[in-house]
Amino acid sequence: MSFDVGDAAVVVRSRLRLTRRGRAVFTVLAAIPIALLAASLVLGGGGAAADGEGARGTSLAYLTVSDGESLWSIAESLAPNGDPRDLIAEIMRLNGLDDSVVQPGQRLALPAQ
């Protein structure tokens, strides 16, 4: 039995070579789904308790901020004998506020007392 080289299929093996630019593109493409997942978790998680029902079944009272009111004045009117800073911190937590600035017409959830 003899084999004719002209009739046989020639198998050529080549290694895939990635250039520096190719590796960078591949890394970016692989990182996109991870970045999208992280962004959706950060942006979609942990809304303010004022949006829905209170945490652990606590009832909430609501107040619409009037012109000239601040969190300090609201806290003093709700708990005149207590430390306003503690109540301000709780109101900020309930409403997902980053700072203590409130705007007239803004609706705030307040801890029921």
pLDDT reading at 15 higher than 50: yes
For 94, the domain range is: 14-113
- Is residue 101 in some structural domain? yes
Residue 2 belongs to some domain of the structure: no
C-alpha distances out from residue 30 to 34, 35, 39, 41, 102, Å: 8, 9, 15, 18, 42
Determine the pLDDT at residue 54: 45
- pTM higher than 0.95: no
Q: Is the pLDDT of residue 58 over 50?
A: yes
Distance CA 113, CA 96 (A): 20
Query: Count of domains in the chain?
Result: 1
91-112 mean pLDDT: 88
pLDDT at 107: 92
> Would residue 1 count as lying in a domain?
no
- Within-domain flag for 4: no
